Amino acid sequence: MSTTTKGKRSGFHLTSAQNRRLWITIFLAPWFIGFIIFLAGPMLWSLWLSLTNYDPLVPNTAFVGLDNYREAVADPKVQTSLFNTVFFAVIYVPGTLLSGLGLAMLLQGVGERSGGFFRTVFYVPNVAPAVAVGALFLLLLNGRDGLVNRGLEFIGIQGPSWLNDSRWIKPGIIAMMMWSVGTTVIIFYASLQNVPKQLYEAAAIDGATGWQRFRNVTLPMISGSIFFVLVINSIASLQLFTEVYAMFFGQQPSGAGSEAALFYVIYLFQQAFEFFNMGYASALAWLLFGVIGVITFIQVKTSKRWVYYEGE
Amino acid sequence: MRNTWRMVSVGVAAAFVISACSSGSSSGGDDDNDVNSSASPTETTAATGATSATSATTGDATPGEAVPASGELFAFGFGYDTGDIIAQTRVDEFREANPDVDLTFSEGGFDSQGFLSALASDDPPDLVNVPRNELGTYVARGVLAPLDECIATHGVNMDDFYEGASSQVIVDGTVYALPEFYNSRIWIFNDAAFEEAGLDPETIDVSDWDALADASVALTRMEDGKVTRLGLDPKLPEFLPIWAHANGVDLISDDGLTAQLDDPAVAEALEYGNSLYEPAGGLTDFLDFRDTWDFFGPGNQYATDQLGGMPMEQWYLNVLAEASPDLEITVRALETRDGEPFTYADGNSWAVTTSAANPEAACAFAASMVSVDSWVAAAQARDDERAESGAPNTGVYTGNAVADEIIFNDIVDLSDQPVFEAAVEVVLDIQQYGFGTPPSPASAEFKAAWEEAANQVLNGEDAAQSLATAQAEAQDAIDSAER
Amino acid sequence: MSTAPADVDTSGLTAQPKSERTPAQIAKRALFLLTLAFFTVLFIYPLVWLVFASLKPPDEVFSAGLIGSEIRWENYTTLFDLAPIPRWTLNSIIVTFLAASSVTVSSAMVAFGFSYFRFKGRDPLFYSVIATMMLPGAVLFIPKFLIWDALGLNNTLYPLWAGNLFGSAFYIFMLRQFFLTLPRDLFEAANVDGASYGRMWWSIALPLTKPALVVVFILEMKVAWTDLVGALIFLRDPEKFTLARGLKAIIDNPSVGLESRWELLAAGSVIVTLPMIVLFAIFQREFVEGIATTGSGGK
C-alpha cells in the first residue's frame, strides 16, 4: 500500500491520513503562499496606505485617516475620469453584448463548419497586443487620412476628428475596443451551440415566429452566458487602461485626449507612479474596488430575475 | 551591452532631437564603448596625461581643487550609447580626465516615473539629467542637492550660462543644477508659401498680431474643402508661455510661487493663438493634417509646402539642414507686441541627487559635461563628422554662452549655406533675450493646469473661465508643495 | 485573405441541405454572405493595412492605397538601429515562457488539490479562490510595486512572471473542471500500486489533461506577451523592456510636439503583433476552447 513511498522518509512514520493531509497541503501550498504574499497581504497593505500620505521618497509617513478619500471625492480629475469611465462602460458593455450576440447568431447561420472558421477570423483582433492596438488606432483614427475616415468617406460620410476633437475621442475609443468583440462572440457562439435543437423544433411546431423563438427559447437558454459576459465586461471596462494609455498618455504631448481620454485607472496610475502619491492612489484604488463591488453586486442580485439556470 | 536603446534614450526634452537627428545620418555608427565597464588599465594609464591637461584648462574661473574623481557613478536620464556624438564626446572627455570613475547610465531619456522609482530603489542614481522646466518639483521634494559647494570646487562660473538658463536652476539663491542645452524658439517661415501669398518673410511685422493673423489666412491653402497648407501654427497648448509673454505677461511669477494664469492678457493670448487655427477649418482639421507630416524626413512640411510658418526650437534647423539642405526658409526672432525681440528657452540640466553615494564624482561629472572645453570638443567632433558626410553643421546650442561663442566663431562655418547661415545668426542674436519658466515647487502640476485650460479653450470653452479654474488648481498645488 | 472554410472546427460537419432554393432564399443567402464578408474585412483588414503601412515611405503612411510608391524594408532596419529590438524580444520571450510554464504547473497543482481530494472546507476554500477573480487588478498595483521593491527586484524581469508560481484563479478553475472529469478508478489503481499522490498527479492526471494544460499555457503566453501595465510599473531601463513596453516607448519618444515617425510605429506594432498571430494560427483551437471554457482570454 502507500507504505512504499514512506520508505524514503526513514526515521518517522506517517499514517495514511497524515500522508494525505501532507499532500493536500503541498498541492494547495502555491495558492496559499500566493494568496498571502500577492493578494491578501497587498490588499491589507494597500488599505493601510490609503489611510496615510505615503510617498516612497518621503521618510515620514503620517496617518491621515479618511483624508485621501475625502480629497478624492472632491478631486475634479476623479470626477472627470469617473465620468469618462462610466460613459465608456455604459456604451461599451451593452454594445459588445449586442454586437457579440448578433455576430454569434450570424455565425450560427453559416453552418457549423464555416462558423468555426469565421469565429476564428472574428477573434483575430484580440490576438494583437493591446499596446499595438493603441498604436494601430493612432494611425487608423487620424481624422484626415486615417483608414476609418477614408472608409466613411467611401460611403459618403465625413468622419470626425477622432483623436483631436474632445467630443469624438471617447466614441473613437469605444469603436477601437469594439473591434475586439471576438471574445464575446466565441462565448455566445459556444452557448448558442448548446441550446437543444428540440426546443426550436418544439417551438416551430407551436407556430412560434422567429422573434418568438429568439425571445422564448434562445434568450433564456443563453441567459447564463449573457450574465457572465455582462459581469466580466463591466469589470473590465471600468478598468480600461492599456490601449488608451498607449495612445494618449505616458510621454505623449498634452492634447484633447489628456482630459477626454482620462480614464479612472489611468488617473490612478498617474497618481501612483508618475507623481508617487501612493497613499492617495491607494485610496483611489479602493474607491474603484467599491464601485466595482457595488455594480457587480447589483448585477448578481438582479440576475436572479432574468437568468435561467437549467435544473432550477 | 551593444543593444542599448538608442531611440528612446533621446529623451522628452527637446535637447534630444539634436542627437536623434544627428544619429539619423550616422545611425550606423555604432560605438564599441562598453558603458557598463570601467576603463581598461591601458586606457587608464594612457589617459592620465590628458587629465592634467584638461583640468588645467577647464572653466574660465580659477579651478579649485580639480582632483580627478573616482568610484562608481550612476547617471539617470541620459543615453550615452545613442550614437549621438555630442553626448559621447563629452562623456569621453570626462572619462579621460577621470579614469577611475566607473560610470554607468540608465540609457533612457528622463521620465519622472522612472526617476522616482529609481530613487526609491536600492541603487539610486547619483545624478540626473533633468529638464529645467521640471527641476522645481524635485527641489521642493528634497531629492536634489544644492550645488554651491560643487560649483566653487570646480570653478564653475554661473555667469557663463545664459541668463534664461541659469535663472531656471537657481532656487532661492541656491544653485541646484547646471544647465546643459539651451533651446530657444524662433519663427521659421516657408519662403515659397510667403511669396505665393504676396508676403515678404523678411519684413513681415511679427510683433503685429493682426498682421500675423492676416498672414495666416493668406498662407493657408485649401483644396476641395481640405486644408493642404497650414498658415501659421501657433503650437498651442505647448507654446502658450510664448504667446502670453508676447502679450506682456508670464504664466508664473519670477519666484515661481504665484501663478498668473488668470491675467486677462493670458486669456487674450490664448484666444488669439486659437484664432490662428481658424483659416484651416478649425483646430481639429489643423491637427489632423499636422499629425500626418513627415516631420523629421525629407518629406517634411517645409520641403513639401505644407506649412507657412511656425515658432519652433532652433535645433529643428539642424533637422532641416540635414533632411533638405536646399530648403528656402527664413528665420525670424520672436517679438513681443511691443516689438521687443525675445525667445523662450528651456533644456536639460545636470543635478546631483541627495541620495547620491558619490556626490563628489557626480559633481565633477556635471561640471565637466557643461564646461567650455567639453562643449567645444563635442562641437568639433560633430563638425568633423558632418564634414565627412557632407551635411551642413548648424552647430550645437549650449547653455554656456562662452562655449557658444567659440563654437559659432571658430567651428561652425555655413558660408556655403547662406540660408542656414542667416538662420543661425538670428538664433545667436536672440539667445541673450531668452526667458525660461522659473522653477516652481509644483512645476508638473502647474504645467498640467495651464495645458488643460488651453486644451479646453481649444475645444471651445471660455478662456477666462478655464484659466480661472486652472489658476486656482495651480496655485493650490504650488501652495501645498511649498509647505 | 481567403474566405474558404478552413479546417478549424471540431464540432462536426453538418452541410447545408442541398434542397432547391427560391430566388428570395438565394437573395437572403447572398446578403448573408455579404454581411459575413464585410465583418471579415472589418476584423482582418486593419492588420493587413498595418503590415503594408510599415513598409511605406514616411510621408506616405496615410496615403490612400495599400502599397506605397516603394516597399521600404529599411523601415525595419532603421527601427532595429534605433531601438534594441532583439534585446526586447529576448526579454519578452523569457517572460512569456517563464510566466506560461510557471502558471501552468502551479495552477495544475492547486487544481488537483481541489479536485482529487475531498476534505472539510474544500468548497468554501475553492469559492474563495474563484472570488479573487473578481478583484480589480488596479488595487494591487501599488502594493505589488512596493513588495518587489522591498525584495530589490524592481527593474528586473521577475515581477513580470514570478507571481505566476502561485497559480491563477482562472486556470485553477478551468483545470479543476478537467480533473473532475477524470475517472477516479484510474487513481485508485495507482494508489493500490503504491504511487504517491505526487506521482499520481504527475504521471496520471497531467498526461490525461494535456490538452487543457496546453490551453492554459497558450492563453498565459498571450497574457504575458501583451502585458503593458506590469512592464510600465516594474521596468525602468530600456535594456530591460519587453516588446510591449518597448512599443510604448516607440509611440512616446520620437514625438516632439505632436510629430511621430509613423512608419516606425507601424513597424514596431507589426513586430509585437506577429508572434501572437503565428501563435494563434498554430493554436487557434486552444485559444477558442480556452475562451469558451473560462470566458476570457485568460485575463
Distances (CA, A) of B172 to A130, B351, C155: 46, 16, 35
Question: Residue B62: pLDDT band by 50, 70, 90 thresholds?
Answer: very low
pLDDT at B101 over 90: yes
Task: Supply the pLDDT for residue C28.
Answer: 87
Element (H, E) at B473: helix B463-482
The Cβ of residue B49 has, within 10 Å, a number of other Cβ atoms equal to 10
Tell which residue, A162, A111, A115, has the closest CA to residue A134: A162
Element (H, E) at B168: helix B163-169
Q: Are strands B185-190 and B307-313 parallel, antiparallel or unpaired?
A: antiparallel
Please give the grid coordinates belonging to residue A157: 460620410
Query: Rounded distance, CA C276 to CA B43, Å?
Result: 47
Q: What is the pLDDT of residues B442-472, one digit of tens each?
A: 998 899 999 999 999 998 899 999 999 999 9
Q: Which of A46, A127, A193 sits opposite C142 (nearest CB)?
A: A46
Task: Kindly identify which residue of chain C lies nearest to residue A236, measuring between CA atoms.
Answer: C136
pLDDT at B46 over 70: no
Question: Residue B55: pLDDT band by 50, 70, 90 thresholds?
Answer: very low
Give the three-state DSSP class for A288: helix
| Choice among A202-211, A285-294, B247-256, C66-75 with the minimum mean pLDDT | A202-211
Give the three-state DSSP class for B43: helix
Torsion angle, alpha carbons of C95, C98, C99, C105, to 10 = 180
CB proximity C163 to A under 8 Å:
yes
Tell which residue, A114, A126, A111, has the closest CA to residue A187: A126
| Choice among A21-30, A57-66, B44-53, C182-191 with the minimum mean pLDDT | B44-53
Query: Rounded distance, CA C25 to CA B312, Å?
Result: 64
Sign of CA dihedral B82, B84, B89, B90: negative
Contacts of A269 in chain C (CB under 8 A): 138, 141, 229, 232
A interface with B, Cβ–Cβ < 8 A, is 56-58, 76, 142-145, 160-161, 163-167, 251, 253-256, 258-259, 273-276
B2 min Cα distance to partner chain C (Å): 9
Q: What is the pLDDT of residues B404-426, one digit of tens each?
A: 999 999 999 998 889 999 999 99
One-letter amino acid of A163:
L
Q: Rg for chain C (alpha carbons), in Å?
A: 24
Beta-bridge mates of residue B103: B73
Q: Answer whether B100's CB lies under 8 Å from C128's CB.
A: no
Region class of B155: left (phi > 0), else alpha (psi between -120 and 50), else beta: left
pLDDT at B359 over 50: yes
Q: Is B418 exposed, middle or buried (0-12, 13-18, 19+ CB in 10 A)?
A: exposed
Q: Answer whether B201's CB lies under 8 Å from B194's CB.
A: yes
Residues 190-249 of chain C whose Cβ lies under 8 A from any Cβ of chain B: 232, 236-239, 241, 246, 249
CB proximity C211 to A under 8 Å:
no
Pick the residue of C251, C264, C287 with the most A CBs within 10 A to test the interface with A by mutation.
C251
Q: Is the bond preceding residue B237 a cis peptide, omega within 30 degrees?
A: yes
pLDDT at B271 over 50: yes
Q: Answer whether A282's CB lies under 8 Å from A46's CB.
A: yes
Task: Supply the pLDDT for residue A111.
Answer: 78
Task: Supply the pLDDT for residue C148.
Answer: 93
Question: Residue B1: pLDDT band by 50, 70, 90 thresholds?
Answer: very low
Task: Supply the pLDDT for residue C176.
Answer: 92
Task: Kindly identify which residue of chain C lies nearest to residue B3, measuring between CA atoms.
Answer: C84
pLDDT at B155 over 80: yes
C125 min Cα distance to partner chain A (Å): 10
Question: Residue A310: pLDDT band by 50, 70, 90 thresholds?
Answer: low
Task: Supply the pLDDT for residue C18.
Answer: 52
Question: Residue B56: pLDDT band by 50, 70, 90 thresholds?
Answer: very low
Contacts of A77 in chain B (CB under 8 A): none
Query: Which of B475 and B69 is assigned the larger pLDDT?
Result: B475
Q: Answer whether B399's CB lies under 8 Å from B161's CB.
A: yes
The Cβ of residue B173 has, within 10 Å, a number of other Cβ atoms equal to 7
Q: What is the pLDDT of residues A190-241, one digit of tens each?
A: 999 888 989 888 988 888 888 898 998 999 999 999 999 999 899 999 999 9
Query: Rounded distance, CA A31 to CA C176, Å?
Result: 14
Contacts of A142 in chain B (CB under 8 A): 288, 291-292
Task: Supply the pLDDT for residue B50.
Answer: 36
Query: Rounded distance, CA B80 to CA B90, Å?
Result: 10
Query: Rounded distance, CA C188 to CA C254, Å?
Result: 63
One-letter amino acid of C14:
T
B interface with A, Cβ–Cβ < 8 A, is 12, 111-113, 116-117, 119-120, 141-143, 226, 237-238, 283-285, 287-289, 291-292, 444, 448, 451-452, 455-456, 458-459, 473
A58 min Cα distance to partner chain B (Å): 8
Task: Supply the pLDDT for residue B7.
Answer: 36
Q: Which of A19, A125, A242 sits opposite C228 (nearest CB)?
A: A242
pLDDT at B211 over 70: yes
Tell which residue, B408, B388, B419, has the closest CA to residue B324: B419
| Per-residue pLDDT tens digits of chain C, which is 299 residues long | 334 444 443 343 344 455 567 888 889 888 988 999 999 999 999 999 999 999 999 888 888 889 988 999 999 998 898 889 999 999 999 999 999 999 999 999 999 999 999 899 999 999 989 888 878 888 899 999 999 999 999 999 999 999 999 999 989 998 998 899 888 888 888 877 778 899 999 999 999 999 999 999 999 999 999 999 999 999 998 889 999 999 998 888 744 333 468 899 999 999 999 999 999 999 998 888 888 776 554 43
Give the three-state DSSP class for B171: strand
Roughly how many angstroms between the first and final C-alpha of chain B, as a whole number?
44
Would the CB atoms of A273 and B141 count as touching at under 8 Å? no
Would the CB atoms of C238 and B292 count as touching at under 8 Å? no
Would the CB atoms of B288 and A160 count as touching at under 8 Å? no
C284 min Cα distance to partner chain A (Å): 7
One-letter amino acid of B112:
S
pLDDT at B36 over 80: no
Q: Are strands B348-352 and B127-131 parallel, antiparallel or unpaired?
A: antiparallel
Question: Residue A2: pLDDT band by 50, 70, 90 thresholds?
Answer: very low
Percentage of chain B surpassing pLDDT 70?
Answer: 86
Sign of CA dihedral A61, B110, A270, A258: positive
Q: Answer whether B343's CB lies under 8 Å from B163's CB.
A: no
Q: Which of C61, C84, C250 sits opposite B3 (nearest CB)?
A: C84
Residue B288 exposure: Cα atoms within 13 Å on the Cβ side: 28
Query: Rounded distance, CA B183 to CA B312, Å?
Result: 9
Residues 86-125 of chain C whose Cβ lies under 8 A from any Cβ of chain A: 106, 109-110, 112-114, 117, 119, 125
Pick the residue of C1, C141, C161, C273 with the most A CBs within 10 A to test the interface with A by mutation.
C141
Q: Which of A57, A145, A255 sits opposite B119 (nearest CB)?
A: A57
Sign of CA dihedral B21, B27, B32, B37: positive
What DSSP letter does each residue of B60-108 carry, written as one string?
Answer: SSPP---PPPEEEEEEES--STTS-HHHHHHHHHHHHH-TEEEEEE--S
The Cβ of residue A198 has, within 10 Å, a number of other Cβ atoms equal to 8
Q: Is the ipTM of this complex over 0.95?
A: no
Q: How far is CA A261 from the centre of its chain?
A: 17
Please give the grid coordinates belonging to residue A234: 463591466
Summary mean pLDDT of chain A: 90
CB proximity C2 to A under 8 Å:
no
Contacts of C268 in chain A (CB under 8 A): 135
Question: Residue B190: pLDDT band by 50, 70, 90 thresholds?
Answer: very high
Q: Is C40 exposed, middle or buried (0-12, 13-18, 19+ CB in 10 A)?
A: middle
pLDDT at A8 over 50: no
Average pLDDT of the residues in A78-95: 97
Query: Rounded distance, CA B94 to CA B368, Å?
Result: 6
Task: Supply the pLDDT for residue A178.
Answer: 97
Q: Which of A57, A166, A276 sits opposite B459 (nearest CB)?
A: A166
Task: Supply the pLDDT for residue B33.
Answer: 32
CB proximity B7 to C under 8 Å:
yes
Summary mean pLDDT of chain B: 85
Task: Supply the pLDDT for residue C22.
Answer: 85
Q: Answer whether A161's CB lies under 8 Å from C63's CB.
A: no
